[in-house]
Amino acid sequence: MAFLTVNFISKNLMRTVPVNVILPADKLVFPGMPEPEQKPFKLLILLHGVLGNYTDWVNGTRIQRWAEEKNLCVVMPSGDNAFYVDIPESGNYYGKFIGEELPAMMRKMFHISERREDCYIAGLSMGGFGAMRNGLCYPETFGAIAALSGAFILHEPKSDDEEIGRMGIEKYCFGTMKEAWYSVKNPQYLAKGLAERKAAGEAVSFPKIYMCCGTEDGLIGPNHTVRDDLIEKGFDVTWEEGPGGHEWDFWDTYIRKILDWLPLDEDSAGINSGNVAKPE
């Protein structure tokens, strides 16, 4: 299994950006063993939470091991506390970077499937928000969305100048609650638009959605709200909750569940450093 850190110049972020890539392309084959099928890898873009970066998922979970078992390419970018939305005022188009540029660049570099059905996006906390927002904003790119403990911090505004959050970064990303709620930065606004287009007869493909949250997580209420809204609008939503808070033990458990939920292929051909002695 190859693990790479890739740096490239992003048009949408106007700087060199790093991403970590898990690529199960180097399994060994000995005489008498079946050859691995040479087909394009399916792709999962995996987003970190607030205060994190592109190293978080590998440091905090067993995603590297499980991606290899599923023959899945996993790409982990940095979101820079920007909730993965476009911020034109600063020239940082994180949404376009995630929804268009990053998948295209990875396909240029690696043997990755071009099919929408083979491209997925997931994330935790802020990254869960970003996965939902960009999965719904770019339904032509992503066939499935998974949000773990999503930081769904937007709600219908109570006043024109209601602010969001308490860290200050929310104002930088969203402006006021009213500005965010009635905009393409809001996953529920995007879901409403897709549902209306489908009701009008357009051939709109809805991504399948997986959501989960710990029962001791303060974000479980907003996650229930978003879940119910998506189901009401006709989306195929798989929901799971279980013991746990807003922490890595929960996310480590549920990223494995998400990989089992995605339409991935088990790859038993070839061996790696973790299963050299496994029986035939």
* Rg of the chain in Å (alpha carbons): 19
3-state secondary structure of 145: strand
Query: Can you tell me the distance from the alpha carbon of 239 to that of 147, in angstroms, rounded to the nearest whole number?
Result: 10
Tell me what pLDDT residue 227 has.
98
All residues at 6 or more sequence positions from 238 whose CB lies less than 8 Å from its CB, including other chains? 208, 209, 210, 211, 261
Tell me what pLDDT residue 167 has.
83
pTM: 0.93
The closest alpha carbon to 143, from 260, 247, 42, belongs to 42
Residue length of the chain: 280
Tell me what pLDDT residue 234 has.
97
Asked if residues 62 and 69 have their Cβ atoms less than 8 Å apart, the reply is no
Beta-bridge partner residues of 146: 122, 210
How do the pLDDT tens digits run along the chain, 280 residues long? 799 999 999 999 999 999 999 999 876 767 777 766 779 999 999 999 999 999 999 999 999 999 999 999 999 999 999 999 999 999 999 999 999 999 999 999 999 999 999 999 999 999 999 999 999 999 999 999 999 999 999 999 999 999 998 788 999 999 999 999 999 999 999 999 999 999 999 999 999 999 999 999 999 999 999 999 999 999 999 999 999 999 999 999 999 999 999 999 865 544 555 554 444 4
Q: Phi and psi (nearest 5°) for 136?
A: -85, -25
Tell me what pLDDT residue 267 has.
59
Tell me what pLDDT residue 277 has.
46
Burial 12-36 (b: 16+ CB within 10 A, else e): bbeeebebbbbbbbebeeeeeeeeb
In the chain, where are the structural domains located? Answer: 2-261
Tell me what pLDDT residue 25 has.
87
The dotted CATH code for 2-261 is 3.40.50.1820
Asked if residues 73 and 43 have their Cβ atoms less than 8 Å apart, the reply is yes
C-alpha to C-alpha distances, 96 to 55, 84, 189, nearest whole angstrom: 21, 9, 17
Tell me what pLDDT residue 275 has.
52
Q: Own/partner pairs for 188-193, CB < 8 Å, 24+ apart?
A: 188/154, 188/226, 188/229, 188/230, 190/133, 190/136, 190/137, 191/136, 191/229, 191/230, 191/233, 191/235, 192/233
Tokens of 275: 């299963």
CA dihedral for 127, 131, 137, 142, sign (positive or negative): positive
Asked if residues 213 and 251 have their Cβ atoms less than 8 Å apart, the reply is no
